Chains A and B, each alone.
Chain A
Amino acid sequence: MDWATVLPVVWFFIIGFAVIMYVLLDGFVLGLGILLPFADDEDQRDHMMNTAAPIWDGNETWLVLGGAGLMATFPRAYAVVLSALYLPILAMLIALIFRGVAFEFRFKAHTSRWLWGVAFSVGSVVTAFAQGLILGALVEGMPLTGGKYVQGAFGWFSPFAVMTGVAVVFGYALLGATWLILKTEGRLQRIAFDLTRPLMLAVIGFMLMVSAWLPFLDSQLMERWFTGAHMLWLSPVPALTVLDAVLLWRAVLKNREVQPFVLALCFFALGFIGLVAGMWPNIVPPSMSIWDAASPPSSQGFVLVGAAFLIPAVLAYTVYSYRVFRGKVLAGEGYH
C-alpha cells in the first residue's frame, strides 16, 4: 500500500463527510424554506428564518468545502461532474443566491418583505430539487467516453433523477419540521408537529420507491448492494433505517422535542450512506474510480495535513456557536 492508493481512500471519506455534513446541516435550513408557505403569517415566517439565521452561513460552507475539496483532491471528477451537470448546478447556484440574500434582505425590507419570503421559499425548493437531480444522476451513473461526458446538456435528465429530486425536497422538509419542533414553542411548533408525520410517510415512500427502482436502473450501485460480502456489511443500513423510522414515529406521537430532530438527521444520513456506499470505489459511476480521478499524493497529502488540524477546529467552533444559540428561539428575536 503506497500513498497513491491510501490517500484517495482517505479523501473519499473526508469529502463524503463534508457532503453529508452539508446535506444534514443545510438540509434543515432548506427545509425551513420549503415549509415557509405553511406558516400562518409573515411574523411567523420571520420567526422560522430567525431560528437558523445565526448558523445557516456556517452550514452552507460545508458545500464549498465539498466543492473545493473535490477540485483539490479529485480534479477529474470535479471537472466531469460539474460540467456534465451544468444546468442543474446552475439552477442550484441561482436558487442558493436567492435563498441566501433573503436572510439579510427580508429584515431590511418593509413593503417587499413578503417577496424575500417567496425568494427564500422558492430558492430552497429549487436548491433541494436540483441537489436531488444531481444525486439521482450520479446514482444512475454518468457514462464517459475517453474521459469526457458526451451526453449533451440534458444527459442527466431521467425519470429516476426527477424522482430523487422530489424525494430530497420532502426529505429536507422533514428535517426542517423537526428542527422547528426543537427550536420553537406554541403555534409554530404545533404546525411543525402536524407536518412531521405526513412528511415521514412521504420520505419512507420515496425510500421504498428508490429501492424498488434500483434493480431496473442497471446501475453499478445495485451490483455493489447485492453481491456477496457487500450485502453483509451493508445490511445494518436498511435495518437501522427501519428502526430509526419506528423511533421517529413514536417520538413525534409522544410530542418529544429533541428526539425527532436527532432521529430525522439519522434517518436522512442512513439513506444517504446507503446510496453513497453503493458508489464505492467509483467517484463518478460507473467507470471513474477514486484512483482515476485523484490528484497526486503531493497535492492530497499537502491538504490532508491542514485538514487534519483544521477540520477538528472547525467542528469545535461550530459546536461552540450552536451552544451559544441553543434553546428556543422566540418570536421577534434577531439583530435587525
Chain B
Amino acid sequence: MPTAEFLSRLQFAWVMSFHILFPAFTIGTAAWLAFIEGVWLVKRTDLWRDLYFFWLKIFAVAFGMGVVSGIVMSFQFGTNWAGFSIAAGNVVGPLLNYEVLTAFFLEATFLGVMLFGWKKVSDRMHFLATCMVCLGTLLSSFWIMSANSWMQTPAGYEIREGVFYPADWWQVIFNPSFLVRLPHMVLAAFISTAMVVGGVSAFYLLKGRFVDRAGAMLKLALAFLAIVIPIQIVIGDMAGLKVREYQPAKLAAIEARWETASSVPLALFAWPDEQAEANRYAVEVPHLGSLILTHSWDGEVKGLKDFPRDERPPVKIPFFSFRVMVGLGLLMLALALVGLWRWKHGTLFSGRGYLKAWVVMIPSGFVALLTGWWVAEVGRQPWVVQGLMRTSEAATELPAGSVLASLVTFVVVYLGIFGAGIWYLLKLFRDGPLPAPQRGQPATPVHGSRARTPARPLSAPDDPMGD
C-alpha cells in the first residue's frame, strides 16, 4: 500500500484542483455581474437586466460548488497536514482566519440578498450587495494568495524548535512574491470568465439565438481580453523573475534544465528523463531561454544538477504544465487579436469558423489556470514551506487505510457532484438569457404558488420569479 503521506498528497491535489476552478470562476463572474448591474442601473434597458439574471443563476451554481469544496479545504490542513498546522499554524492560520472574517461572511451573507432580495430591497441596495459579493471574492483571493505566497517565498518569521513564529506581519503578508502572484491569479480568474462569456456568446451567435445579447457580450469579452491578456503576460514574466530569484530549483524544473549554463536555449518540447538527468527529443530555440528568463542574451540559468537529488522537484509535471499554460495564453491572445481585426472590418459575427474557435476555447482559461497552479505547487516540492519545511514533515501520521478510504470517497463524490454541477451549468447555458420577469408584470406561474402578500412593501404587485 502507498504511504499515508503520498495518499494525502494525491488527495490534496485532487480536492484542490477541483476547488480552485470554482472560486476562480466566481471571482470573474462576480465582477462581471457587478459590471452588468452597474450598466443596467444607468441604462435601465431590458437587455442588461436579462443578462444579469442569466449570469446570476450561473454564478449561484458555481458559488455553491466553491463553498462546499472550500469547506473541505479548510479542514484538510488539520486532518491530513497536522505537522504543517502545528509548525506553520501560527503564521498561516491568522491569514486564513482573516480570509473568513473579511471575505467569506461578506460573500455568503450578501449572496442571499443578491439571489433572493431583488424584490425586497431597492435597486441601489441590490447593486451594493452585488458589489459586496464581488469585494468578498477579491478579499478572499488577497488572503489565500498571501498564505500561499508565504509558503513559496517565506518572510517575516522566526523558527524556534521547528515551529514558525511571526516576527513581522507586514513582511509575512507582503512577502516577496505576493504582489506579483496575486494579480497573476486574479487576472487568470478574470480571463477564464471572459473566455466563458465570449465562448457562450459565440455559441448563441452560431445558433442565431439571443443575437443582440450575445453580440454585446462577445464584444465586451473581446475588448477585455485584448487589453488584459498582454498585461497578464507581463505579470507572468515578472512572476517568472521571482521564481528565478527565490525558487531556482522550480525554475530549472519548469525549463527541464539540468546543467547550469549561460545563453541557454528555450525547450519548446522535450521529454525530461529524471534518471538520466537529460532531455530526449528536445526541440530548442537558441538563446531564447536566457532572454525570457533573465532578460539578457546570455544570462545564466541554474540547472537541477546544482541541487541534491532529494531537493529537486519532479520535472515532468512543471515542465509540461507550464508549456500548456503559456501555449493556451498565446492562443487566447491570438483569438482576441483576430477578433479585434474582424470587429474593425465588420465581420466579427459572420465568420462561422471564428465563432467555432471561440466555442472550442471556452475551457482554455480554466486549463491554463489549473496547469499554472500545478507549476506553482508541484514545482515547490519537496518543500511545503520553500527551503524550510519538507512536505514529508507536514503530513499527519495517519493509518494509510483511513487516507485511502477518504481519497476514494473524494474521487467518487467529486466526480459525481461536480459532474452534476457542470451538467446543470451547461443546461443553464443551453437555456440562455431569457427575458427576466419585470416588476409589476406577472411571471410564469410557479406551481403551488400563492403569491402576493401585502406585508412586504415591494412585493405587492408581483409574483415569484420563475423561469
Given the complex of chains A and B, what is the CA–CA distance between A298 and B89 in angstroms? 12
Given the complex of chains A and B, what is the CA–CA distance between A65 and B421 in angstroms? 26
Q: Please indicate the chain A residues that have their CB under 8 angstroms from the CB of B341 in the complex.
A: none
Chief secondary structure at chain B's binding surface:
helix
Return the CB mask of B63-77 against A: 1 if under 8 Å, else 0. 011011111101101
**A69 part of interface (Cβ distance < 8 Å):** yes
Given the complex of chains A and B, what is the CA–CA distance between A324 and B458 in angstroms? 11
**B456 part of interface (Cβ distance < 8 Å):** yes
Query: B71, B90, B166, B424: which contacts A108 (Cβ < 8 A)?
Result: B424
Beyond A58-B108, A68-B93, A298-B165, is A83–B78 a contact (Cβ under 8 Å)?
yes
**A81 part of interface (Cβ distance < 8 Å):** yes
Q: Please indicate the chain A residues that have their CB under 8 angstroms from the CB of B421 in the complex.
A: 101, 104-105
Q: Please indicate the chain A residues that have their CB under 8 angstroms from the CB of B61 in the complex.
A: 104-105, 108
Return the CB mask of B443-467 against A: 1 if under 8 Å, else 0. 0001111110101100000001111
Query: B71, B118, B464: which contacts A96 (Cβ < 8 A)?
Result: B71
Q: How far is the CB of A328 from chain B (nearest CB, A)?
A: 7
Given the complex of chains A and B, what is the CA–CA distance between A311 and B109 in angstroms? 13
Beyond A89-B79, A295-B89, is A97–B109 a contact (Cβ under 8 Å)?
no
Q: Please indicate the chain A residues that have their CB under 8 angstroms from the CB of B112 in the complex.
A: 53-55, 57-58, 321, 324-325
Query: How many B residues, CB 8 Å from partner?
Result: 84
Q: Which of A72-80, A271-279, A283-291 contacts B (4 or more CB under 8 A)?
A: A72-80
Which residue of chain B has the shortest Cβ distance to A150 in the bound complex?
B397
Q: Is the CB of A327 within 8 A of B428?
A: no
Q: Is the CB of B71 within 8 A of A63?
A: yes
Q: Please indicate the chain B residues that have their CB under 8 angstroms from the CB of A328 in the complex.
A: 453, 455
Which residue of chain A has the shortest Cβ distance to B95 in the bound complex?
A72
Q: Is the CB of B93 within 8 A of A64?
A: no
Q: How far is the CB of B176 from chain A (nearest CB, A)?
A: 20
> Quick one: which of B50-108 are within 8 Å of A by CB?
56-57, 60-61, 64-65, 67-72, 74-75, 77-80, 82-83, 85-86, 89-94, 96-102, 104-106, 108
Q: Please indicate the chain B residues that have their CB under 8 angstroms from the CB of A335 in the complex.
A: 56-57, 60, 115-116, 118, 465
Q: Please indicate the chain A residues that have their CB under 8 angstroms from the CB of B446 in the complex.
A: 332
Given the complex of chains A and B, what is the CA–CA distance between A80 and B78 in angstroms? 8
Q: How far is the CB of A150 from chain B (nearest CB, A)?
A: 9
Q: Is the CB of B116 within 8 A of A82?
A: no
**A159 part of interface (Cβ distance < 8 Å):** no
Beyond A58-B105, A61-B108, A93-B75, is A83–B401 a contact (Cβ under 8 Å)?
no
**B398 part of interface (Cβ distance < 8 Å):** yes
Q: How far is the CB of B193 from chain A (nearest CB, A)?
A: 18
Beyond A61-B108, A78-B85, A299-B91, is A86–B464 a contact (Cβ under 8 Å)?
no
Query: B74, B99, B424, B449: which contacts A109 (Cβ < 8 A)?
Result: B424
Which residue of chain B has the shortest Cβ distance to A299 in the bound complex?
B90
Beyond A54-B116, A317-B110, A324-B120, is A105–B420 a contact (Cβ under 8 Å)?
yes
**A314 part of interface (Cβ distance < 8 Å):** yes
Q: Is the CB of B90 within 8 A of A54?
A: no
Q: Is the CB of A332 within 8 A of B451?
A: yes
Which residue of chain B has the shortest Cβ distance to A80 in the bound complex?
B82
Q: Please indicate the chain B residues that have their CB under 8 angstroms from the CB of A57 in the complex.
A: 67, 108-109, 111-112
Q: Is the CB of A332 within 8 A of B85?
A: no
Query: How many A residues, CB 8 Å from partner?
Result: 72
**A242 part of interface (Cβ distance < 8 Å):** no
Given the complex of chains A and B, what is the CA–CA distance between A64 and B449 in angstroms? 35
**B409 part of interface (Cβ distance < 8 Å):** yes
Which residue of chain A has the shortest Cβ distance to B85 in the bound complex?
A79
Q: Is the CB of B464 within 8 A of A64?
A: no
Q: Please indicate the chain A residues that have their CB under 8 angstroms from the CB of B106 in the complex.
A: 317
Given the complex of chains A and B, what is the CA–CA distance between A47 and B101 in angstroms? 31
Given the complex of chains A and B, what is the CA–CA distance between A101 and B446 in angstroms? 22
Q: Is the CB of B82 within 8 A of A299?
A: no
Q: How far is the CB of B431 from chain A (nearest CB, A)?
A: 10
Given the complex of chains A and B, what is the CA–CA distance between A325 and B64 in angstroms? 20
Q: Please indicate the chain B residues that have their CB under 8 angstroms from the CB of A255 in the complex.
A: none
Query: A63, A73, A97: which contacts B417 (Cβ < 8 A)?
Result: A97
> Quick one: which of A93-116 are within 8 Å of B by CB?
93-94, 96-98, 100-101, 103-105, 108-109
Q: Is the CB of B69 within 8 A of A97?
A: yes
**B388 part of interface (Cβ distance < 8 Å):** no
Q: Please indicate the chain A residues that have their CB under 8 angstroms from the CB of B89 in the complex.
A: 71-72, 75-76, 78-79, 295
**A250 part of interface (Cβ distance < 8 Å):** no
Q: Please indicate the chain B residues that have their CB under 8 angstroms from the CB of A209 in the complex.
A: none
Q: Please indicate the chain B residues that have their CB under 8 angstroms from the CB of A217 in the complex.
A: none
Q: Is the CB of B60 within 8 A of A104?
A: yes
* 6 nearest CB pairs, A to B: A75-B89, A82-B78, A332-B449, A72-B93, A54-B112, A79-B82
Given contacts A61-B100, A71-B77, A317-B110, 15 further A-B contacts (CB under 8 A): A43-B448, A61-B104, A71-B85, A78-B93, A83-B79, A97-B68, A101-B64, A104-B64, A105-B420, A105-B424, A153-B399, A303-B98, A325-B116, A325-B117, A335-B115
Ordered by A's residue number, 28 sampled pairs between the chains whose C-beta atoms are within 8 Å are A54-B115, A57-B108, A61-B109, A71-B85, A71-B97, A72-B89, A72-B94, A75-B85, A82-B85, A83-B79, A86-B402, A94-B413, A97-B413, A98-B417, A104-B60, A105-B420, A108-B428, A109-B424, A152-B399, A153-B399, A298-B167, A306-B102, A317-B105, A321-B112, A321-B113, A325-B117, A330-B453, A333-B449
